[in-house]
A and B are shown apart, each in its own frame.
Chain A
Amino acid sequence: MNIALTDTTDKSSVRQATALVDCDIHPALRSAADLRPYLSLRWWDYLQTYGLRSRHGFAKGTPFPKIVPGAARRDAWPEAGPPGSDLALMRRQHLDHHGITMGILNPLSPSGGDQNSAFSAALCSATNDWLVDAWTSQEPRLKASVLVPYEDGEAAREEIRKRAGQPDFVHVLLLSRTSEPLGKRRYWPIFEAASEAGLPVATHVFGYSGFPSTNSGWPSYYIEEGAAHPAGCQASIASMIFEGVFDRYPDLRFVVIEAGFGWLPALAWRLDRAWHRMRDEVPHVKRPPSEYIRERVWISTQPMEEAPQPQAVAQTMADIGWDRLLFASDYPHWDFDDPKFGLPPSLSAEQRDHIRFLNAHTLYGL
């Protein structure tokens, strides 16, 4: 299925012909000291004394050792600091090299999921200040996420309101493993504030919920942890639909990042099937679930699905909708997708343009 290109003047078509939007770039702190200028003495002291406390049972590190150091491409380490911490290298190796015209920064550490709510709010706000000072004000191609303390809806709403209208920020960022299903009322202030601010809410895989990373317990291997993300994101989308979030916040747009996309059409079919049978359990849900997904959910291409029949990937993309897929690289992480070679070769120029930039331009109002 092809859809028409959005209307553009000749001039903007020329400009857009070379555009490329990367919806998932991970900037990293060189060290925690990068946040010091933006934290009160009280919270800086707290960070030094007690450190970060994720919602999981390990004192340090991640539950599953990553495939490579820092989960990063081996060629993405700067001379000093961790991958993603050096703007010059990011420019040279990523933005310039691939011709990226806009990249969205999604910081993962610190995340918005620290156990101490007030500290989490301070960390998020400090990180957002740092994103502007160290990145978006230095490099016009870069835009930032509003990092929010997502387990505390009210504090998250405050942070979103603080950043509303500031053009450096293009979406609100959550991690996918929340402590309750994402449609629950505790998260509604996030959706409300994001809708008011005209910002999409993006969820990026990972984070710590305190629960095992699969719904049948802790897997043995990192390879399984990665494979479990689609199921987690499916639960988030189902929760948002059946809790009535999309009806309550009609301007809410939801972006799923780094969960792949092959599962999305099947989720829509399955939810519709269930809704036809059990609609009376959730009478506040007015329309077939697939319609909320089709209209309100955008999804990133990374990590690209690699089917034995490449045409199956293109068919899945068509099922999702050519206007809903967003290119993402995940730079500098090891599961990076190359914008030129990562997409299925069979896509038409028009389909490719939608994924590479047109959909992002529409979603983010560029």
Chain B
Amino acid sequence: MAYHVVAAIEDMPPGSRRVIEVNGRAVAVFNVEGEFYALLNRCPHQGADLCNGLLTVAVTSTEPGIYDFDPSRNVIRCPWHAWEFDVRTGKSWCEPNRVKVRSFKTEVRSGKLIEGPYVAETFPVKTDGTYVLVEA
């Protein structure tokens, strides 16, 4: 596993998303209110690009007619059939134990780019991060 640079942090404000190619696989990276999450950019159902989906929150209910939005549970909703996946874990909302999208670890680190967009000399720093990275 290696870290791959996604973007400079100022280029990925909250609500933004990017797709990067890592070892031939497309990985979708989302900034959800300052937290970064990365999922394989492929819906396990029929293969749609998840990066084109709606980033939203889970809707729950205690009884018919009640619609509760749970802001703590962010989901990406597939652009085709609206299957929902937890952006943190990649698990399907409807069948979390059977269906999931592969998720990747993300980090924000500071450093400076030394070659191309995907190779970086990075330094783990907990605060004042400069780059968003995906481990894959």
Contacts and interface: CB of A to CB of B under 8 A. Distances in A.
B16 interface: no
Nearest to B42: A341
A68 B81 CA distance: 10
> Mostly helix, strand, loop or mixed at chain B's interface?
loop
Given A74-B53, A74-B54, A75-B52, A336 B80 contact: yes
Given A67-B82, A68-B82, A334-B82, A75 B46 contact: no
B15 to A, nearest CB: 16
Interface residues of B, number: 12
A342 B46 contact: yes
A305 to B, nearest CB: 14
A203 to B, nearest CB: 23
Interface of B: 45-49, 52-54, 79-82
A220 B83 CA distance: 22
B80 A73 contact: yes
A144 B114 CA distance: 56
A180 interface: no
Nearest to B98: A308
Contact of A338 (B46, B52, B53): B46
Contact of A337 (B46, B52, B53, B82): B46
A236 B122 CA distance: 66
Contacts of A272: none
A74 B46 contact: no
Contacts of B45: 341
Nearest to B54: A74
A124 B82 CA distance: 33
Contacts of A60: none
A277 interface: no
Nearest to A67: B82
